[in-house]
Amino acid sequence: MSDTLSAPMTGVETVLSALRETMGTQISTVPSVREEHSHGEALDVSCLPAAVVFAESTDDVSRVLSLCHEHRVPVVAFGAGTSIEGHVTPPADGISLDLSRMTEIVQFNPEDLDCRVQAGLTRQELNTRIRDSGLFFPVDPGGEATLGGMCATRASGTAAVKYGTMKENVLGMTVVLATGEVIRTGGQVRKSSTGYDLTSLFIGSEGTLGIITEIQLRLYGLPESIAAAICQFSTVDEAITTAVEMIQYGLPVARVEFLDEVQMAASIAFSHLDELKPLPTLFFEFSGGPASVREQVEATESIARDNGGLGFAWADTPEERTRLWKARHDAFWAARAIDHSALVISTDCIVPISRLAELIDGAREDIAASGLRAAMLGHVGDGNFHTLILTENSAEGRARLLELDRKIVGRALALGGSCSGEHGVGIGKLEFLEPEHGVGALSVMRALKQTMDPRGILNPGKLLPPGEAYRG
């Protein structure tokens, strides 16, 4: 009887076989684990990876990428899985590289107001661990995002109007390149005029140029005094005008968030905000010294009153402030609860602050014309807002939803804005990159991708529209 020849191993099988020698217990091909890593939140796109590898160190990430580069196996970094535009959806023949076990604070330098952390640590856990020092990290996108994921998507959130985004708050990082090579960018200093700014290059690169494993973060002193309030208005225009005037007058407000009447109705029901009415609403937070906070509050109340504000309701205790801001962060889930059978997506547009009212008015016209139900909310202090669009979960429903999304994004681009202020591109925003950036800029981006990831293994198909870098 002749010997039967076994089929040769595929690239991913070869990689997993080699990894099992040193990372055996960190590899999973269990269907339920693969399913957890097949998608993020919101975007209705998923695909089971061939395997999930749980990294526990930079060396682990380097080992995985070195082998995947050699055998041309796609790799998608995974943190908390809370990204919205399909960033973490893997290809079927790829590896989902989970960094959520990398949660150490590598350095804590309170005298220098900075720290170095592993990429799998969440910003909530970081703030819990350093709370007794009187310091905190302010970038607050809402969900349980990891700090590595926040860097990869250039996250911002409710506090960006005062503290900026991840771009302004990262001093340096450790990155593993496609070949497995480990580099460090930046450092502890607050400025440097040497070499290319590689730290900024990787922030917002969505895992397409390298995988971030450590981050040097700026920290801030906890405010001496914090005041939070809400103010409701009869119309959306009154609320938006109030927010815009606050920024134009230079008030150093910590947060100013907008929810329209549809979102407020959903949030009142979902978060039990029974003391409020389903009206356009602004959520405020003021921080600083007691005298400064009083000045901010008095000026804001005056502006709101002049624009028809219906009075301020104050959150006088930390518990009440937490309840209000949790309601704001739970807005997506509140919108989903309107109709559990519906498909929901979140648009993400940003325009110069002076054009915000024009964009929101136009978006409301588009929503009315579409016949779809949609809620509006956003970080109006920096010109960023979201539309949570609900539709029936069918091919026709998806088509109507995407048509509305394209109209709103088109308005933002026409007003000098961007298709995404904080969610990133992933898969969901690919079609808008060329209208926003132009062919020339995209060709430079593709050249960078080709140089740094010549075999196209890092998060293929994300961030850049299909091009040379994705032929694999």
19 Rama class: left (phi>0) / alpha (psi -120 to 50) / beta: alpha
User: In this predicted structure, what is the pLDDT of residue 314?
Assistant: 86
Quote the mean pLDDT of the chain. 93
Residue 316, pLDDT score? 74
Cα–Cα nearest to 391, from 370, 378, 373: 373
What is the arithmetic mean of pLDDT over 437-445? 94
Q: Is 5's pLDDT higher than 80?
A: no
- The tens digit of pLDDT for each residue in 191-210 reads 889 999 999 999 999 999 99
Task: Tell me which DSSP letter residue 464 carries.
Answer: S
Q: Would you list the DSSP string of 62-94?
A: HHHHHHHHHHT--EEEESSS--SSSTTPPPTTS
Decide which of 432 and 41 is more confident. 432
- pLDDT for 128: 97
Question: Tell me: the pLDDT tens digits for 155-175?
Answer: 998 899 999 999 999 999 999
CA pair distance 164, 63, nearest whole angstrom? 35
| Residue 25 pLDDT class (50, 70, 90 cuts) | very high
- Contact at 8 Å (CB) between 463 and 446? no
* pLDDT band at residue 6 using 50, 70 and 90 as cut-offs: low
Is the predicted pLDDT of residue 2 greater than 80, yes or no?
no
What does the pLDDT read at residue 7?
62
Domain made up of 105-221: CATH architecture? 2-Layer Sandwich (3.30)
Count of CB atoms situated within 10 Å of the CB of 117: 26
* 470: pLDDT strictly greater than 50: no
pLDDT tens-digit series, residues 252-275: 899 999 999 999 999 999 999 999
Domain positions in the chain: 11-98, 105-221, 223-330
Contact in structure between 232 and 309 (CB atoms under 8 Å): yes
Smallest CA-to-CA distance from 18 within 65, 52, 67, 53 is with 67
CATH number assigned to the domain covering 223-330: 3.30.70.2190
Task: Give per-residue pLDDT as tens, 72-125.
Answer: 999 999 999 998 899 999 999 999 999 999 999 999 999 999 999 999 999 999
Kindly state the average pLDDT of the residues 400-428: 94
Would you give the distance in Å from CA 393 to the centre of its chain? 25
CATH no. of 11-98? 3.30.43.10
Whether the predicted pLDDT of 343 surpasses 60: yes
What pTM was estimated for this model as a whole? 0.92
